[in-house]
Every structure is written in C-alpha cells, then in structure tokens.
C-alpha cells in the first residue's frame, strides 16, 4: 500500500526543511510513502530542499490558496491513503503509523489528529506561545463540529473522489470540505496519536491576520441568513467581553504550565478578543468581508521557474 503526503507551500523554506526531515524520521509505518510538495507562488521555489530526498516531488499551482495547492497534489498522488500536513508543521515520529493503523481498520475513512504548539525555546515562552497552546489548533473540537483542520488530515482516495476537491481562498476550505463530507455520510474520527506540532505565530500582527480571515469567512456565511447582521453584531459584543469567562480555562488548561505562562496566555487572550470584537464591527459597517479573505497568496516578485519542475 502507498501513502501520499501532500504539502502546500508558500515562502516557508525553513519550516519545510524541518517538516521534511521529520517525515523522513517516521517510525512504525509499513506502507510505502511518497511526498508531494505543491508550491503556490513562492518568491523562490524550494527545489533545493525538495531535491535532497528522492521520494519528494515538487509541483506548482498558480491558483492561489492552500485548497487549490492540495488539489494539485491530489491529482498527481498515487496512494490509496492521502495525508495532508502544512509546510510549517512538524509531524511527530508516530504520525504516519497512526494514520496507517486508523485507515486500514476497514471502517474508518477520514481522520484528523492532535495539533500542538511547538515552543521554539520551551524555557522562554514568547507572548503568543502560551495563548496559542490553549486556544489555537484545537482540532478535537473542530472534529466534534464535523471537520478537521487540513494541516493534520488524512482520508482515502475513494472518499475524496465522492466528496470532491477543496475550495479556494474565498472560504475556510477545511470546514467546507469536512461539512461536505459529513453531508455525504462520512464521519471524521479523532486520532489523538496522530500528532503534529505547529509553531506559534511570531508577532501579534500575524495573529490578527489569522482572525481577519476567519472574521471575513464567518461574515460572508452569516450575512445572508435571517437577521444575519444583528446576529453578527451580537457575536462581536460577546467576543469582546468573553475573556472574563475564560479564566477557568486559562488556569486549568493542561496545555501550559506555571503561573507565568498562564498570565501571558490571559493577557494575549484579552488583547486578541478585544481586537476581534472591534474588527467584526468594522466588517459589519463596511458590509463586505471578501476584501480581507484572500490572505493566503499575495502578489510575489517575479522569479525564474526551472523547466524540470511541473
């Protein structure tokens, strides 16, 4: 059996190198493995990084967005099992083994795993790392809602053939695909042993950009509904005032340790929730979230594309 790993990439060479090293250090997997990296408009192609391993194929996808990049990889993949991970994620050494075990039991068809924040310096957490450890990448909760983040997702090729491809940057493609799969009768199973580590964002501006995209997607989804604008306004007010109800979570979360990390998490939580509430009101007043939804791929400097790369 063959497992195809598909990785969308955009200007993340250092992370990609670490991620590929982790994928080549997997333990316990018995299937053959192919790795497909799909570049989505980087300023410089990661061809030198990919060529270091004979089982890594580098492709190009010019339609912006991680969804179209994954679709390009799917078209070239040969595996019965398709595994998705992001370029800035590092797979735990048992990631592929967990995928193989779950998807060969004869009953499971779609799985998602645990996404954890990897601290750059565990003894010196940044302002964002404790917050993101608690509040970001809670994939078990997403799966309970019917979808998995596409940075840690695996399924059978036969399922993708029935559910269809991933959407573009105009929607949250992981939620969209997962809910379409559920509507088609498939259940997504959470596999806690299927672990990937995601770096925390470096700056508060990066965290704001993440929420800008989510706010835009949510607005475009809620706006056409009955009393959509009023519901969105109520949600904005609730978000801004929500940190007071999160004290128990911050104090008791097993994802952080020590009072210092918990204080950092609380301060960052207050800052981002106030930002989100204000941003939601701003989007509502403008009446259009689409202008901030296309953040995956911006105009990049022109570059040479080697003829050997498809």
pLDDT digits (tens, 9 = 90+) for 26-38: 999 999 999 999 9
Report the chain's mean pLDDT, rounded to a whole number.
90
Is 189 a residue whose pLDDT tops 60? yes
* CATH class of the domain comprising 2-199: alpha beta
- For range 3-15, the mean pLDDT: 97
Q: What is the C-alpha separation between 166 and 178, in angstroms, rounded?
A: 9
Is 51 a residue whose pLDDT tops 80? yes
Give me the residues paired with residue 5 across strands.
Answer: 35, 83
What is the predicted pLDDT for the residue at 136? 84
Residue predicted with more confidence, 268 or 201: 268
Q: What is the C-alpha separation between 202 and 287, in angstroms, rounded?
A: 31
Give me the residue spans of the domains in the chain: 2-199, 204-292
Starting from the edge strand earliest in sequence, which strands make up the sheet with 81-85, in order?
56-60, 32-39, 2-9, 81-85, 152-156, 110-118, 188-199, 90-91
Tokens encoding 229: 């604008």
What is the predicted pLDDT for the residue at 201? 84
Is 302 a residue whose pLDDT tops 50? no
Q: Which is it for the CA torsion 175, 50, 83, 200, positive or negative?
A: negative
Is 146 a residue whose pLDDT tops 70? yes
What is the predicted pLDDT for the residue at 107? 92
Contact 81, 100 (CB under 8 A): yes
What is the predicted pLDDT for the residue at 288? 66
pLDDT digits (tens, 9 = 90+) for 192-247: 999 999 988 888 998 898 888 888 888 888 888 888 889 999 999 999 999 999 99
pLDDT digits (tens, 9 = 90+) for 63-113: 999 999 999 999 999 999 999 999 999 999 999 999 999 999 889 999 999
Is 310 a residue whose pLDDT tops 70? no
Is 298 a residue whose pLDDT tops 80? no
What is the predicted pLDDT for the residue at 295? 45
What is the predicted pLDDT for the residue at 141? 92
- For range 146-174, the mean pLDDT: 93
The structure's pTM equals 0.77
Environment class of 274 (CB within 10 Å of its CB; exposed 0-12, middle 13-18, buried 19+): middle
DSSP H stretches of helix in the chain: 13-23, 47-50, 66-76, 95-103, 129-135, 139-145, 157-163, 173-183, 204-222, 228-241, 247-252, 258-286
What is the predicted pLDDT for the residue at 161? 94
């Amino acid at each position: 059996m063959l497992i195809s790993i598909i990785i969308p990439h955009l200007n993340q060479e250092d992370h990609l190198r670490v991620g590929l090293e982790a994928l080549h250090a997997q333990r316990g997997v018995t299937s053959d493995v192919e790795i497909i990296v799909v570049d989505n408009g980087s300023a410089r192609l990661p061809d030198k990084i990919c060529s270091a391993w004979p089982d890594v194929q580098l492709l190009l996808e010019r339609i912006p967005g991680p969804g179209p990049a994954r679709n390009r990889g799917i078209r070239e993949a040969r595996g019965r099992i398709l595994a998705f991970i992001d370029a800035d994620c590092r797979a735990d050494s048992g990631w592929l083994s967990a995928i193989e075990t779950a998807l060969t039991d004869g009953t499971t068809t779609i799985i998602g795993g645990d996404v954890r924040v990897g601290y750059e310096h565990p003894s010196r957490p940044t302002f964002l790392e404790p917050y993101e450890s608690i509040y970001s990448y809670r994939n078990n909760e997403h799966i309970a809602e019917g979808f998995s983040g596409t940075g840690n997702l695996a399924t059978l090729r036969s399922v993708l053939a029935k559910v269809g491809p991933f959407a573009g940057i105009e929607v949250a493609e992981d939620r969209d695909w997962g809910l379409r799969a559920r509507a088609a009768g498939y259940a997504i199973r959470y596999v806690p042993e299927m672990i990937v580590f995601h770096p925390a964002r470096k700056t508060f501006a990066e965290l704001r950009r993440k929420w800008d995209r989510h706010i835009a997607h949510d607005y475009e989804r809620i706006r056409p509904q009955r009393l959509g604008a009023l519901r969105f306004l109520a949600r904005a007010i609730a978000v801004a005032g929500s940190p007071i109800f999160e004290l128990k979570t911050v104090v008791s979360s097993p994802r952080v340790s020590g009072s210092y990390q918990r204080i950092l998490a609380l301060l960052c939580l207050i800052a981002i929730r106030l930002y989100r509430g204000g941003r939601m009101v701003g989007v509502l007043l403008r009446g259009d979230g689409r202008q901030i939804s296309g953040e995956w791929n911006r105009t990049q400097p022109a570059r040479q594309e080697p003829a050997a790369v498809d």
